[in-house]
Amino acid sequence: MTPLIAAAVLAAAVTHASWNAIAARIREQLFSFTLIAGGGALIGALTACFVPFPAAGAWPYLLVSAVLHLGYYALLMRCFTLGDFGQVYPVARGTAPLVVTLLAALFVGEIPDAGQLAGVAVACAGLTGLALWGIRGTRDPGGRTGAGAAWPALIAAGATGLTIAAYTVVDGVGVRAAGSPLGYMAWLMLVQGFAVPAYALVKHRSALWPAPRPDVARGLLAAALSVTAYALVLWAQSRAPLAPVAALRESSIIVGAAIGAVLFKERFGGPRVAAAGLMVVGIGLMLYGS
């Protein structure tokens, strides 16, 4: 991985954690993701006018990815409803590179070496620690505490991570077949972006109006950051192996944890810091091993 690609992925990591934090701060999650998906669709439509059309071989991957992204949005909304941002975000993002390493080996032929496998083991240990620490003191909207409150959030975060891994591999193959990373990104955002607003308008119109102006501004900003983050990742995936790109991208775990502690005033004790740090060390080993 060249320094330019690494810099692009790191920028994507910071941008991704930022838009997720913005989305988590909007109280009505369906409204939040309607703006994010709809704003992404508009950006995609404008971009599509100026970039090459994706090659025919990329379209099966693009359509599958669009469906996976819709599942990702639904699960992420569930995560932000059930758990602390500083708890669910690291679990969701930390799960993804572990699964990407496996999927890339099975379906893309990118076999991990010993360093990457060691990184997977270390990251798994950190992920387990973070999940277990998240059980302590968790309270859900129904008043339950401890494991009864934490496990639904952790399960949703783990499922989100699996979805992230799936669309990462699908898009990694699709963007290489597209011939144009920007063309692939534009049409992906366009195809997937109208589904969430359409669903919200038909099924939950009351959740969209009236909307506080600050929430509208936050949602549109999150949409722009979301498109920017994924465009950088798709560009990197077109030029580097999938597993190390996914691993470096998840340095957003630390950014997300810091945002949860500083902006959301979430409890982030020493054990959670250590677990998140262990995950980053594991991801670093995966990256170094590549």
Secondary structure of residue 76 in the 3-state scheme? helix
Half-sphere exposure of 241 (CA within 13 A, CB side): 24
- pTM of the full predicted structure? 0.78
In single-letter form, the type of residue at position 86 comes to G
- How many structural domains are present in the chain? 1
**10 to each of 89, 119, 230, how far by Cα in Å?**
17, 18, 12
Per the structure, the complete domain to which residue 107 belongs is given by 3-289
Three-class HEC string of 114-156: HHHHHHHHHHHHHHHHHHHHHHCCCECCCCCECHHHHHHHHHH
- Residues 210-230 pLDDT 10s: 666 777 888 889 999 999 998
- Residues 105-144 pLDDT 10s: 787 777 777 777 787 778 777 766 766 665 555 544 454 4
**How many other CB atoms are there within 10 angstroms of residue 81's CB atom?**
15
Rounded to an integer, what distance in angstroms lies between the CA atom of residue 161 and that of residue 264? 22
| DSSP secondary structure code for residue 278 in this structure | H
Rounded to an integer, what distance in angstroms lies between the CA atom of residue 63 and that of residue 66? 5
